[in-house]
Amino acid sequence: MLIDTTQAALEGVIAGTTQRHQALASNLANANTPGYQRVDVDFHSTLAAALGSGNADSSLEHASFATQADGTGALRADGSSVDVDAESAKLAANALEHQAAVTIAATRISILKTAMGTGV
């Protein structure tokens, strides 16, 4: 098997950060929409559960990440729960996590290609 649990987990992180990026961008796009409730994607707990299960490879293959309303933010006078500064910081942190996972996954694939003699 060329794709091991680590590679599957990296692919899960990439998929999760992609979905979370979309949710956070949606929050920023709707920051001035009265009554808008921020959403988020908690993919870390889903990945942790998959990795903690007895059959991580299968669990990671079927992992799905749900976008959920997040009512933890303070409501503004217009009923919106989006804090632009907090969302921007979360978006930047998420982008860094995504880029790190992509870099690590690409490096692992490059090492496999080199080991198989198929080039870089």
pTM: 0.83
pLDDT score for 66: 81
Give how many domains the chain has, as a whole number.
1
Token pair 């709707």 is found at 30
CB of 50 within 8 A of CB of 12? yes
**pLDDT by residue for the chain (120 residues), tens digit each?**
456 888 888 988 999 999 999 999 999 999 999 999 999 999 898 888 888 876 766 667 666 788 888 777 677 888 888 999 999 999 999 999 999 999 999 999 898 889 888 865
Structure tokens at 80: 């919106």
pLDDT score for 7: 87
Helix then strand then coil, in percent of the chain rounded to 5, is 60, 5, 35
Show the domain range for 16.
5-116
pLDDT score for 2: 55
Half-sphere exposure of 91 (CA within 13 A, CB side): 17
